[in-house]
Structure 1
Amino acid sequence: MTADLASGLRFAAQPVVSVFVPGVPAEVPEFADGGVVPLEVQTYSLEYDDPYACVTEYDLVFDELPPLLHRYLAHCLRVACAAGDTVVWLGFEGSFHFDHILSAAIAPQVYGVCAPGGEPVVAQDLTTLRTPEWRVVITSHGSLL
């Protein structure tokens, strides 16, 4: 397994970037940026037993990931954060569960976060996701929810 972040962004051989936004944003974020446009944006409403608990997942499907991947991921976090006016994150396929939102247990499956008024934070590589410092980044954003 390589330490390259892009290697973890394939689901069924198709590159997918999953963006998670608590609640239901009033508008769909504009994920196109500088000529980078997903082939498709699939939207899912993830709901908990409590009808008021909802997270919107946007799966951005590509034929090939953008060449300036970290820059594009930061863009996705910025626009999703602005649309939802809340903490947002990027997570690998199958990582979401209401019991572990931005917790230390799920930190190795979250590769980017952003809080309103803050700058996006994107992991440099897969190795970063296993560090104590990354767990602090993720849990500190989780405490803002």
Structure 2
Amino acid sequence: MTADLASGLRFAAQPVVSVFVPGVPARVPEFADGDVVPVAVQAYSLERDDRYACVTEYDVVFDELPPLLHRYLTHCLRVACAAGETVVWLGFEGSFHFDQLLTEANAPQVYGVCAPGGEPVVTPDLRTLATPQWRLLVAAHRGLLGGGSWSGR
């Protein structure tokens, strides 16, 4: 994993991994993985003004990012996908907007995705985020969100 992705995970100088899960998961994902234990996990409910859409954002906070970052990010996607039983993604701070959930335009702000029954996919570096292949991969996961109220936006 190149250092440039790690540099994008710093918010206010503290490393933060933001995991997005549509709806409210039945249980909080277990973000600890062996010796890798976050300093804190903060949950935020992101809601629109209508009653149909909610996304839970988990900010997984560290003093130092895990040395095997790609492996840890894969773990985050796997446990969040299992807890939410839906498509989940990793996004940079400030990337969330209901009208841009997993769109091609928003793909450069999404650095990992996972769908139920699938394997997590994490970008190897920031350059990959600008490729047509990455935009298509992210948009394909949007199509897997199902019939939620955001599917036609």
Same topology, TM > 0.5: yes
Aligned to 1:123: 123
Native 8 Å contact 1:39 1:62 kept in 2: yes
Aligned to 1:72, the other structure's residue is in SS state: helix
Aligned to 1:83, the other structure's residue is in SS state: helix
Query: What amino acid is aligned across from residue 94 of structure 1 in structure 2?
Result: G
Alignment of 1:18-57 (within 5 A): 18-57=18-57
Alignment of 1:1-145 (within 5 A): 4-145=4-145
Mark the runs of 5 or more structure 2 residues left unpaired by the alignment. 146-153
Query: What amino acid is aligned across from residue 74 of structure 1 in structure 2?
Result: T
| Offset at residue 3 of structure 1 (A) | 6.4
Aligned to 2:67, the other structure's residue is in SS state: coil
In 1: Cα distance, 2:12 partner to 2:91 partner:
16
Aligned to 1:113, the other structure's residue is in SS state: strand
In 2: Cα distance, 1:128 partner to 1:34 partner:
29
| Offset at residue 7 of structure 1 (A) | 0.9
| Offset at residue 34 of structure 1 (A) | 1.6
In 1: Cα distance, 2:124 partner to 2:63 partner:
22
Native 8 Å contact 1:104 1:139 kept in 2: yes
Native 8 Å contact 1:3 1:127 kept in 2: no
Aligned to 1:16, the other structure's residue is in SS state: strand
In 1: Cα distance, 2:50 partner to 2:114 partner:
25
Q: Percent same amino acid at aligned positions?
A: 81
| Offset at residue 52 of structure 1 (A) | 2.3
Moved beyond 3 Å, runs of 4+? none
